[in-house]
Amino acid sequence: MKTAPVNRIIPFSNVDGPSNRTAIFFQGCPFNCRFCHNPETINMCCNCGDCVKTCPVKALSLIDGKVVWDKNICVGCDTCIKTCTHNSSPKITEMSVDDLMKEIKKSAPYITGITLSGGECTLRKDFIIELFPKVKELGLTTLLDSNGYLDFEENKEILEYCDGVMLDVKAYDKDFSNWLIRYPQETILKNLHYLLKVGKLEEVRTIIFPDRDQENEETVSYVAKVIGDNCRYKIIRYRQFGVRDEQKEVLGDYTTDEDYALKYVELAKELGATEAYLI
């Protein structure tokens, strides 16, 4: 049976897709977005041990060269995450599909579905292919929250039991994409078209950065023209919370002005994306 590294499970979330859902966050992401709010999900722990000595309640130990986390002792202070300089966390649980199903079943009577997030959930493609049919047997809906890394057309099997993908389109311009997310944008834009074509595009999200008029306009215009009124379009204000200090110096240590961001919601609507809204 497949396993996957799980960073966190939120049994009841109303911000990870429509209605009340269980949100599962996998560890690991191939991007390194400058604005990442949870950079501790980017890399797998390299077991350097630096965080072990900083834990105030001794919930961490280094055993045979591996960091072991005792969740029963942990008080959730996140000192370990603040200590880690590798964009990782020692609080990762390797879970099998059955382990995760046990957790999902606990909240199943109170939720409409599950959302897989991260990190980047599609890195765990084989695990998802095994998990989703079991989730559907419970009568729950299945969503992927993805940065668009995986080529969905080349990996159609992940969509068979998936109700929809919430896709980040962070940059239309190639150079801006390479700078912002440190990754090319071609597959992401291809996914935008493909997921729309096969009826699996649940929503699209774009972040509005302060004083980036040209890049903001290019990305919003492109997405709005492609999606029209076919799905939700979340226009999200850049927020500095959780962003690494060195990146705040580049992007700004403040939140995008609301009136500035609203201009792009209006632009999206003018171009046909009638379900555009600001968050």
Question: Which stretches of the chain bind ligand SF4, using CB under 6 A?
Answer: 45-51, 55, 57, 59-60, 67, 69, 74-80, 83-84, 86, 88-91
**Closer by beta carbon to ligand SF4, 87 or else 221:** 87
**Closer by beta carbon to ligand SF4, 49 or else 210:** 49
Residue among 32, 31, 14, 34 nearest 22 (CA): 14
Shortest gap between Cβ of 49 and ligand SF4 (angstroms)? 5
Shortest gap between Cβ of 33 and ligand SF4 (angstroms)? 19
**Closer by beta carbon to ligand SF4, 34 or else 91:** 91
Kindly tell me the burial class for residue 245, based on how many C-beta atoms sit within 10 Å of its own C-beta (0-12, 13-18, 19 or more).
exposed
Shortest gap between Cβ of 133 and ligand SF4 (angstroms)? 33
Strand order through the sheet with 276-278: 93-96, 3-13, 21-26, 113-117, 141-146, 164-168, 201-208, 232-237, 276-278
**Closer by beta carbon to ligand SF4, 78 or else 126:** 78
Report the alpha-carbon distance of residue 176 to residue 198 in Å, rounded: 28
Report the alpha-carbon distance of residue 229 to residue 271 in Å, rounded: 10
**Closer by beta carbon to ligand SF4, 16 or else 40:** 40
Shortest gap between Cβ of 79 and ligand SF4 (angstroms)? 4
Shortest gap between Cβ of 58 and ligand SF4 (angstroms)? 8
**Closer by beta carbon to ligand SF4, 7 or else 256:** 7
Token duo for residue 264: 């792009």
Instruction: Give Cβ neighbours of residue 225 (< 8 Å, ≥ 6 apart).
Output: 271, 272
Residue among 64, 38, 66, 40 nearest 52 (CA): 66
Residue among 210, 239, 220, 211 nearest 173 (CA): 220
Among all chains, which residue has been given the structure tokens 């992927």?
Answer: 144
Shortest gap between Cβ of 228 and ligand SF4 (angstroms)? 44
Report the alpha-carbon distance of residue 115 to residue 124 in Å, rounded: 14
